[in-house]
Amino acid sequence: MPDSALTDPAAVQPEALAAARAEFDAIDDQLHDLLMRRAGLSAGLAAQGMKASGASFRPGREAMILRRLLGRHRGPMPRAAIARLWREVIATSLRQQSAFSVAALGGTEHLALGHFGLDTPMRTHATPSRVLAALSAGEATVAILPSPADGEPLADAWWASVEAPRLQVVAALPFLLRAGQTLPSALVVAGFAADATPKDRGLIRLERAPNTSRGALVSALAAAGLPPLRVILSADGMRGLAEVEGLIQPGDPRLASLSALRPHPIGGFAEPSLDEPPLETL
């Protein structure tokens, strides 16, 4: 090789590029082999009947897969890209196992597709009650609704009337919160309970006597051993929603001392991950 080839980037580029492309191709083949193997494993579970009768969607297990991968992630690829790729892989796997479709409130489509995959059948509806009616009628496997917000009008406060435990919250979107985002943007409602993970949030609906302050609700919850991470109130002030650590079952003994507030668990979700910058960039 002439000396100039070592110093002139234009002269070495074709060989280096060809070598890199050969490596890209080899990596892509390996990735493709692994994706085909993963899809076969997923389809095999369904074929063995292990995913019958609505047992396909396991939001807690999905959260743990993403937590594990994000925890071991290193290097220049953004964590958001890892989360997006695996959401597509998992959602595709889920649809291989059984029919899966989404009823979403208009405006939440991007969150629904980002989580459940671009090819997931989705219908949007104009009001939360229509979304929940579509879920109840079996027109969709899950419903996507905006996260509850303090003081929202009753027509928007779907959580105040959701018929739990028949329908309950099972997941929160997006799983990877953007930098600066502290709360999920939407919640997923389904006709089954979420499976527990080591870090979950439970939602408890409360009925508030007219003169009970928000502070009194917080104190009552804390005294019951359920210190809330957040309490929101409906616009009429009559319903409250407490977010607490861990999934809460209807028979949880801690609810007994709150009976005056008619506590009603409405499900919960795996705590989302934060999109933190990588610790090291070596």
Helix or strand holding residue 95 (H, E) = helix 79-97
Q: Name residue 201's beta-bridge partners.
A: 245, 269
Binding residue (CB under 6 A) for ligand PRE from 70, 83, 94, 111: 94
Rule CB under 6 A: say whether 197 interacts with ligand PRE: no
Rule CB under 6 A: say whether 61 interacts with ligand PRE: yes
Binding residue (CB under 6 A) for ligand PRE from 66, 83, 90, 221: 90
Q: Binding residues for ligand PRE, how many (CB under 6 A)?
A: 11
Q: Name residue 202's beta-bridge partners.
A: 244, 268
Rule CB under 6 A: say whether 43 interacts with ligand PRE: no
58 vs 230 by CB, closer to ligand PRE: 58
Q: Measured at the alpha carbon of residue 137, what is the angle toward residues 136 and 142, in degrees to the nearest 5?
A: 55
Binding residue (CB under 6 A) for ligand PRE from 43, 58, 80, 152: 58
- Residue 186 and residue 178: Cα distance in Å, rounded? 13
158 vs 269 by CB, closer to ligand PRE: 269
| x/- letters, 63..82, toward ligand PRE (CB under 6 A) | --x-----------------
- Residue 1 and residue 4: Cα distance in Å, rounded? 8
Which residues, 6+ apart, have CB-to-CB distance to 233 below 8 Å? 150, 151, 208, 214, 239, 240, 241
Which residues would be at the binding site for ligand PRE (CB under 6 A)? Answer: 42, 45, 56-58, 61-62, 65, 90, 93-94
